[in-house]
């Protein structure tokens, strides 16, 4: 079964604060022929673009909600300084211990230079347990040069148990030049040793520049251990 698990709504251009660029001046061609041969020493060759690095799967977690329904969260990181993925489509497979694909879903993500994003989703299985997941189909990143993008920060994170579920709440602030609509956020839960164990997803309707907005994520069928580390991140990366 294929389902869309996450969609990035923001293009790189809408998140751009400052672009480093270079200008090239061109003089008019001489109208009078010259008897001297053209000099090649003054010709400036354009610099070659650096070779992009592939994304890094930093951490992942899969946990059951029933014998045939599993949630997952995965964190991808962009190690590049001048390359980014803009609304990139990818497939996510849930694999059994023998490598069999139990279920697949898909997502689109925007992965900015030197940032990470979290993807939350679910697998339906035939009763077998997905022990790991695999990312497929991620395209090559695009060259963006030396650019600076806006950020979303989160403060005052809190946790509230609720009848076998858990609410994770906080306040998000953006330095983007315009307001953000339907901003996707993800809650990440790590155990006392720093291992990713749970996750969830929510949406913040409106985030205005420089103004705190309330955010909350419901972790279904999850009871967070008291010693856990809780973090809220956004689809703009962290």
pLDDT tens readout for residues 145-197: 988 899 999 999 999 999 999 999 999 999 999 999 999 999 999 999 999 99
- Write out pLDDT tens, residues 34-65: 555 555 556 766 777 789 999 999 999 999 99
Instruction: Report which of 177, 235, 229 is spatially closest to residue 201, judged by C-alpha positions.
Output: 235
| 167 and 108 co-located in one domain | no
Q: Measured between alpha carbons, how far is 79 from 53 in angstroms, rounded to an integer? A: 7
| 192 and 227 co-located in one domain | yes
Instruction: Return phi, psi of residue 96, to 5°.
Output: -80, 175
| 71 and 126 co-located in one domain | yes
What pLDDT sits at residue 20?
37
Question: Looking at the 3D structure of the chain, how many domains does it have?
Answer: 2
Complete DSSP assignment for 85-121: EEEEEEEEEEE-TTS-EEEEEEEEEEE-TT-EEEEEE
How far the first Cα of the chain sits from its last, in Å, is 31
| 113 and 136 co-located in one domain | yes
- Indicate the pTM of the whole model: 0.83
| 170 and 207 co-located in one domain | yes
CATH of the domain at 234: 2.60.40.10
What pLDDT sits at residue 23?
33
Q: Of the candidates 149, 172, 205, which is a domain's last residue?
A: 149
């Amino acid at each position: 079964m294929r389902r869309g698990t996450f969609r990035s709504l923001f293009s790189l251009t809408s998140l751009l604060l400052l672009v480093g660029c270079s200008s090239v001046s061109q003089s008019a061609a001489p109208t009078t022929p010259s008897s001297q041969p053209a000099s090649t020493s003054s010709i400036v060759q354009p610099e070659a673009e650096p070779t992009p690095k592939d994304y890094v799967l930093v951490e992942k977690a899969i946990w059951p909600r029933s014998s045939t329904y599993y949630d997952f969260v995965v964190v991808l990181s962009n190690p590049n300084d001048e390359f980014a993925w803009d609304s990139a489509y990818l497939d996510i497979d849930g694999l059994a211990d023998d490598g069999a694909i139990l279920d697949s879903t898909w997502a689109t993500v925007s992965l900015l230079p030197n940032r990470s994003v979290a993807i939350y989703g679910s697998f339906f299985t035939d009763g077998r347990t997905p022990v790991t997941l695999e990312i497929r189909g991620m395209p090559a990143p695009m060259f963006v040069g030396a650019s600076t993008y806006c950020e979303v920060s989160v403060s005052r994170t809190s946790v509230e148990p609720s009848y076998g579920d858990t609410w994770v709440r906080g306040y998000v602030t953006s330095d983007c030049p315009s307001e953000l609509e339907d901003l996707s956020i993800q809650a990440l839960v790590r155990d006392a040793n720093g291992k990713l164990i749970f996750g969830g997803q929510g949406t913040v309707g409106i985030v205005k520049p420089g103004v705190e907005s309330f955010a909350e994520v419901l972790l279904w069928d999850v009871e967070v251990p008291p010693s856990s580390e809780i973090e809220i991140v956004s689809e703009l990366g962290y």
